[in-house]
Structure 1
Amino acid sequence: MEYSQDMKNRLKRLEGQVRGVLRMMEEDQHCKDVVTQLSAVRSGIDRTMGYVVAKNLEACIKEANEEGKNAEEAIQEAVNMIVKSR
């Protein structure tokens, strides 16, 4: 699977958020604010992971259909990736 620029951009934004949280810690920002930002990072990672899995699944289903195969295995693999990551 080729990773799109959109996927890479999502990770670059997350990278910036993580750097921002570290800066907050170095500046001794309030714990509540740091945790709020960490929660936002976690949410962003979850959304990005879902996006990557969905795009991969989309490609696998398309490939299976083109080859006349059942896409059930690709679907199960995608579900397993999502469940395993939690």
Structure 2
Amino acid sequence: MDYPNEIKNRIKRADGQLAGVLRMMDEQKECTDIVTQLTAVRAAVDKAIGLVVSANLERCVRESAISGLADAEKLVHDAMNLVIKSR
């Protein structure tokens, strides 16, 4: 699957945030500040997961409608299970 730049940019941003957390640890920053930044990283990754699943689900449903081979309801169910498992 070809992932949109929007998703890739979110991952790059989360990567930068995580590098910032490591810097904060090296600088002996306060625990609350580090946890705040880690929470932001987790939120960014969660959003990226949602976008990846959504883009993939959209493609799968569209292809199944064209080919008539897959059950769209099962595709949606599987996608939701994937999101839930990622939590």
Q: Same fold (TM over 0.5)?
A: yes
Number of the residue aligned with 2:13 = 13
Number of the residue aligned with 1:80 = 81
Question: Would you say 1:22 and 2:9 are equivalent positions?
Answer: no
Q: Report SS of the residue matched to 1:8.
A: helix
**Structure 1 segment 1-80 matched on structure 2, within 5 A:** 1-69=1-69, 70-80=71-81
Unaligned stretches of 5+ residues in structure 2: none
- The alignment's TM-score, normalised by the length of structure 1, stands at 0.93
Among the aligned pairs, what percent are the same residue?
A: 49
Equivalent-residue separation in structure 1 for 2:78 and 2:30 (angstroms): 41
Unaligned stretches of 5+ residues in structure 1: none
- Offset of residue 4 of structure 1: 1.6
Moved over 2 A (4+): none
- The alignment's TM-score, normalised by the length of structure 2, stands at 0.92
RMSD over equivalenced CA pairs, Å: 1.0
